[in-house]
């Protein structure tokens, strides 16, 4: 309970005043103390052993300690430290333990708690503290270790006991105090030198700061090793962290072991908690024999984003969590800043048709049965069948990025470094504007590089209409296939939190943090777009109008077209018809473009079809705007999803309920602001206090006074872990993790054909079974006989 009287008496203001006073030393001394000097030679330690005895002993430099050997043993160093003596009295057991631990640390050995006796009320009657190297371990009658087998755990076991007899015994007297009754100071082993004292086991512990840093780092997808380095840098040295990296790893491993059996249940319970605080949060799951096999979720913000930008959806199931080998399948799109935006995600245990059917049906329920116009996926027969069944009105196309990533492995090693070849490939795939152009370039490419017998390329040609842009230029793409950078960006985003051996609940913590970062980026771009103006590069009024209506990212694309219209577009001819006008013009690509003008409606259609696929007027249409003396972009050519205010309309679910975003944290925003302000204030006080040792002493003294205002922490380790994950660890588990639990396996994305070169590089070169050479296999061997069977994988 907080002591308000004490609070008013001490106060934070007093603490800051004390620190400021220390920061400004008086002339000739510090804090007005004249002639006072401090050195390690005249500092004394005062040991309070109880009400009966106080001992003051000088503390010399530990580096000057010399160890005396008596009868082959190692006795207490000759340094005059706070040494225990028979007959010393203490108020309680904790005081005895703290005193002996500090003594052991100063001397250079670690302490282990030995035997003790308790009375009927659980009060300690006597207790013994031992040197950790006391006694010997029991010899286990196990079979000898086979040196030919890799049993690292058995081979790396080190013996720590050597029969040391050092100990301290104390007992409770009739007055309820504790008296040292027996003491043996001699050790039969070397004592730890001062530079290694921080490694003594009995003095190591994971501090509150270390726990907070560890948990925060894991939420940010930073591993334990990097968290320990951060602690080391912040503390100013490993010796000041208070624990070793292994201690930190063991602490986190204990957390993972604690949640192992309840992982799936906690994952579902977390969604249930989010549903309670945010009614717009949507999730569904399925279990088979008590084990989780499918789960989908989408929060309110994701569902609102889909209502604004759900015309084009990208679905990628080529990710895998490591621990259960469940496929992570996110739905993403493109927002008004041309950034990736999250719509929802799922975990599925397999890639069967029924799994994808369930997933797409659940996705539709979450988004109010509003089918997307276009869905982009990777190649998968089960997924294709499910889309045809559940989304029959949605156009399905394949992700070019996934197909192009497979090219290097499929074409053979002799072309990997051929720059001219890759230039022609990109020109054929990306630069072909008509189907005739693509087909002529493709056939010429196969002929010039003897790739006519490549089965994989033949298969890609058969499905060319589903991935080559020239075949669907008139289809609305929303910018999702413009370049490969978006796919690479999305992969980088998701790999931040799936590229580790994670449990489901660990995944969620990292995913939630990453999603908040993505939305913060959108908020930053919204703020920039609404409160800054882009630089105009022409005097055309239509450019200025574009800067008013489009977001900055879209305006940059529009501005490029305006500049090209001014610099490169020249009208070659005009043909007048009854209800339309056909204008031909050239541009910087040296192509003849045709623009059909419907004069009565001010509608223009260009043969380049940029507006039809991207939603931004092309340079040729802008040139027609200029000729028609239009100072503003016609409303028909202002695509709503690219406007600054495109998200101002309300969004509703399938039942007509308004989707309203609500905070999902149990902690109020006002409390978070106070916590942040308090931390910042303390950091400022600490920065000023650390300029002198006296300042730190004043800070410590006042912090000890402040600590009396609050009850000491009584949290168990499990409670600390539950605070980290935001929910309790259940005892009654109804939903269990999937069967295929693995401790090792693949990380990040599911390795595809394009990744085989990396795997071979790591595990050794793999030889072709035909020519015995390295760098390829029998499917693409240059010495393979014509007509030999090859199989597409």
Instruction: Give pLDDT, residue 73.
Output: 52
Tell me if 49 sits within 8 A of 99, measured CB to CB.
Answer: yes
Asked if pLDDT for residue 712 goes beyond 50, the answer is: yes
Q: Two tokens at 117?
A: 């006796």
Question: Does residue 245 have a pLDDT over 50?
Answer: yes
Supply the DSSP string of 48-64, one letter for each residue.
E-SSS-EEEEE---GGG
Work out the burial of residue 155: count CB atoms within 10 Å of its CB; fewer than 13 is exposed, 13-18 middle, 19 or more buried: exposed
Residues shown for the chain: 793
Among 20-29, 44-53, 237-246, 389-398, which stretch is predicted with the lowest mean pLDDT?
A: 44-53
Phi-psi category of residue 50: left, alpha or beta, with phi > 0 → left and psi -120 to 50 → alpha? left
- Averaged pLDDT score across all residues of the chain: 81
Q: Helix and strand tally (H, E) in the chain?
A: 24, 23
Average pLDDT for 587-600: 86
pLDDT band, very low/low/confident/very high, at 783 (cuts 50, 70, 90): low
Residue 166 CB partners (closer than 8 Å, separation 6+): 109, 130, 131, 134, 184, 185, 186, 187
Alpha helices, H only, 615-755:
619-627, 669-689, 693-707, 717-725
Unique residue bearing structure tokens 């005892």: 731
Q: For residue 50, what pLDDT is reported?
A: 38
Distance, CA of 166 to CA of 497 (rounded, Å): 50
Evaluate if residue 449 carries a pLDDT over 70: yes
Once rounded to an integer, what is the mean pLDDT over residues 707-736?
86
Q: Partners of 736 in the beta sheet?
A: 291
- HSE-CB at 308 with a 13 A cutoff on CA atoms is 26
Scan for tokens 């006072």, then name that residue. Answer: 36
Task: Look at residues 293, 389, 305, 290 and name the one whose alpha carbon lies nearest to residue 339.
Answer: 305
Residue carrying structure tokens 């006074």? 705
Give tens-digit pLDDT for 29-60.
333 333 333 333 333 333 333 334 433 333 43
pLDDT-derived band at 789, boundaries 50, 70, 90:
very low
Helix (H) or strand (E) holding 598: strand 592-598
Please tell me which of 11-15, 58-62, 582-586 the model is most confident about, judged by mean pLDDT: 582-586
Q: What is the pLDDT of residues 738-753, one digit of tens each?
A: 875 443 333 444 444 3
Per-residue pLDDT, 175: 92
**Dihedral sign of CA atoms 355, 360, 366, 369 in order:** negative
Residue 324's pLDDT is 84
Lowest mean pLDDT among 47-51, 201-205, 517-521, 599-603: 47-51
Is 758 exposed, middle or buried, given 0-12, 13-18 or 19+ CB atoms closer than 10 A? exposed
Token pair for 518: 């993505």
CA dist., res. 758 & res. 751, Å (int):
10
> What are the backbone angles phi and psi of residue 288, rounded to the nearest 5°?
-130, 115
Lowest mean pLDDT among 408-412, 624-628, 632-636, 655-659: 655-659
* Residues 193/108, Cβ–Cβ less than 8 Å: yes
Q: Is the pLDDT of residue 618 over 80?
A: yes
What are the CA-CA distances from residue 193 to residues 53, 58, 61, 439 (Å)? 31, 20, 12, 77
Instruction: Give the pLDDT mean for 605-619.
Output: 92
End-to-end CA distance of the chain: 67
Mean pLDDT over residues 331-336, rounded? 92
Looking at residue 372, the DSSP 8-state letter turns out to be -
Rounded to an integer, the average pLDDT of 692-712 is 90
Q: According to the model, what pLDDT value does residue 149 have? A: 58
Q: Which residues pair with 54 in a beta bridge?
A: 48
In this prediction, residue 8 carries a pLDDT of: 40
Q: Within a 13 Å sphere around the CA of 250, how many CA atoms are in the beta-carbon half?
A: 8
Q: How far is CA 219 from CA 105, 497, 501, 725, in A?
A: 35, 9, 14, 9
Residue 139 exposed, middle or buried by CB count within 10 Å (0-12, 13-18, 19+): exposed
**Mean of the pLDDT values across residues 780-789?**
54
Instruction: Locate 522 and state its tokens.
Output: 């959108």
DSSP H or E stretch at residue 20: helix 4-23
**What is the predicted pLDDT for the residue at 110?**
94
Query: Where does the pLDDT of residue 657 fall: very low under 50, low under 70, confident under 90, or very high at 90 and above?
Result: confident
Mean pLDDT for 588-604 is 85
pLDDT band at 375 (very low <50, low <70, confident <90, very high): very high
Tell me the angle at which helices 619-627 and 552-567 cross, rounded to the nearest 10 degrees. 70
Dump pLDDT digits (tens) for 85-122.
999 999 999 999 999 999 999 999 999 999 999 999 99
- What pLDDT sits at residue 46? 37
Which structure tokens are listed for 386? 């499910």
- Is the pLDDT at 71 greater than 80? The verdict is no
- Interval 455-461 mean pLDDT: 93
Residue corresponding to tokens 């501090």: 207
pLDDT digits (tens, 9 = 90+) for 259-277: 888 999 999 999 999 999 8
Segment 75-87, tens digit of pLDDT = 445 444 578 999 9
> What is the spatial distance between Cα 601 and Cα 154, in angstroms, rounded to a whole number?
84
State how far the Cα of 702 lies from the Cα of 685, in Å rounded to an integer: 12
pLDDT, position 57: 37
| C-alpha separations of 607 from 597, 618, 619 in Å | 12, 10, 12
The shares of helix, strand and coil residues in the chain, as percent rounded to the nearest 5, are: 45, 15, 40
The β-bridge partners of 376 are 314, 397
pLDDT of residue 665: 65
pLDDT of residue 213: 93
Q: What would the mean pLDDT of 221-243 be, rounded to a whole number?
A: 92
Per the CB < 8 A criterion, the answer to whether 296 and 366 are in contact is: yes
Q: Which has the closest alpha carbon to 367: 347, 340, 386, 390?
A: 390
- pLDDT band at residue 177 under the 50/70/90 scheme: very high
pLDDT at 744: 34
């Amino acid at each position: 309970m907080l002591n308000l009287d004490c609070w008013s008496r001490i106060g934070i203001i007093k603490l800051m005043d004390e620190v400021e006073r220390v920061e400004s030393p008086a002339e000739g001394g510090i804090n007005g103390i004249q002639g006072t000097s401090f050195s390690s030679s005249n500092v004394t330690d005062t040991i309070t052993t109880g009400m009966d005895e106080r001992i003051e002993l000088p503390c010399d430099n530990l580096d000057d300690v010399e160890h005396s050997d008596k009868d082959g043993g190692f006795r207490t160093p000759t340094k005059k430290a706070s040494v225990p003596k028979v007959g010393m009295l203490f108020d309680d057991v904790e005081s005895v333990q703290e005193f002996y631990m500090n003594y052991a640390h100063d001397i250079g050995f670690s302490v282990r708690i030995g035997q003790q006796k308790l009375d009927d009320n659980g009060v300690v009657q006597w207790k013994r503290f031992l040197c950790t190297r006391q006694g010997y371990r029991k010899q286990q009658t196990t079979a000898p270790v086979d040196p030919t087998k890799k049993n690292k755990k058995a081979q790396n076991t080190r013996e720590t006991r050597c029969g040391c007899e050092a100990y301290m015994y104390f007992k409770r007297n009739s007055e309820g105090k504790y008296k040292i009754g027996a003491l043996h100071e001699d050790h039969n082993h070397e004592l730890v030198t001062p530079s290694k004292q921080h490694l003594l086991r009995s003095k190591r512990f994971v501090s509150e700061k270390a726990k907070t840093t560890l948990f925060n780092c894991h939420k940010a997808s930073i591993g334990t090793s990097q968290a320990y380095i951060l602690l080391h840098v912040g503390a100013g040295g490993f010796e000041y962290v208070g624990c070793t990296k292994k201690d930190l790893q063991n602490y986190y491993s204990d957390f993972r072991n604690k949640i192992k059996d309840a992982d799936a249940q906690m994952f579902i319970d977390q969604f249930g908690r989010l549903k309670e605080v945010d009614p717009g949060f949507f999730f569904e799951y399925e279990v088979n024999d008590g084990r989780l096999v499918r789960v989908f979720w989408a929060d309110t913000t994701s569902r609102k984003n889909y209502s604004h930008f759900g015309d084009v959806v990208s679905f990628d199931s080529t990710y895998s969590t490591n621990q259960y080998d469940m496929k992570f399948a996110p739905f993403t799109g493109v927002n008004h800043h041309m950034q990736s935006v999250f719509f929802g995600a799922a975990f599925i245990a397999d890639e069967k048709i029924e799994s994808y059917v369930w997933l797409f049906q659940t996705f539709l329920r979450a988004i109010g049965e509003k089918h997307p116009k276009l869905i982009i996926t990777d190649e998968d027969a089960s997924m294709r069948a499910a889309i045809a069944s559940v989304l029959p009105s949605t156009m399905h196309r394949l992700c070019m990025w996934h197909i192009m990533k497979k090219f290097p492995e499929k074409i053979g090693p002799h072309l990997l470094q051929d720059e001219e070849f890759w230039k022609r490939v990109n020109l054929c795939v990306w630069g072909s504007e008509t189907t005739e152009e693509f087909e002529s370039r493709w056939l010429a490419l196969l002929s010039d590089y003897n790739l006519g017998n490549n089965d994989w390329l033949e298969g890609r040609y058969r499905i060319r209409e589903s991935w080559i842009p020239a075949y669907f230029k008139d289809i609305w793409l929303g910018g999702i296939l413009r370049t490969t950078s978006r796919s690479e960006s999305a992969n980088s985003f998701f790999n931040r939190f799936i590229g580790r051996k994670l449990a489901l609940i660990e995944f969620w913590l990292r995913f939630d943090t990453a999603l908040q970062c993505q939305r913060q980026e959108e908020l930053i771009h919204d703020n920039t777009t609404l409160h800054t103006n882009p630089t105009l590069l022409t005097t055309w009024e239509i450019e200025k109008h574009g800067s008013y209506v489009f977001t900055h990212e879209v305006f940059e694309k529009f501005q490029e077209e305006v500049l090209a219209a001014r610099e490169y577009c020249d009208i070659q001819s005009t043909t007048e018809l009854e209800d339309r006008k056909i204008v031909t013009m050239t541009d910087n690509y040296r192509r003849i473009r045709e623009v059909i003008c419907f004069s009565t409606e001010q509608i223009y259609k260009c043969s380049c079809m940029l507006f039809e696929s991207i939603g931004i007027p092309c340079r040729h249409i802008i040139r027609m705007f200029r000729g028609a003396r239009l100072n503003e972009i016609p409303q028909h050519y202002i695509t709503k999803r690219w406007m600054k205010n495109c998200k101002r309309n309300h969004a509703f679910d399938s039942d007509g309920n308004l989707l309203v975003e609500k905070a999902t944290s149990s902690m109020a925003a006002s409390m978070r602001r106070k916590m942040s302000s308090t931390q910042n204030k303390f950091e400022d006080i600490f920065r000023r206090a650390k300029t002198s040792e006296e300042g730190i002493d004043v800070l410590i003294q006042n912090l000890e006074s402040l600590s009396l205002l609050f009850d000491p922490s009584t949290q168990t380790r499990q409670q600390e872990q539950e605070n980290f994950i935001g929910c309790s660890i259940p005892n009654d588990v109804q939903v269990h993790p999937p069967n295929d639990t693995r401790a090792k396996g693949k990380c990040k994305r599911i390795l595809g054909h394009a990744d085989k070169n990396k795997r071979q590089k790591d595990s050794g070169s793999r030889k072709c079974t035909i020519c015995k050479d390295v760098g390829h296999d029998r499917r693409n061997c240059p010495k393979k006989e014509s007509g030999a069977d090859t199989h597409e994988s």
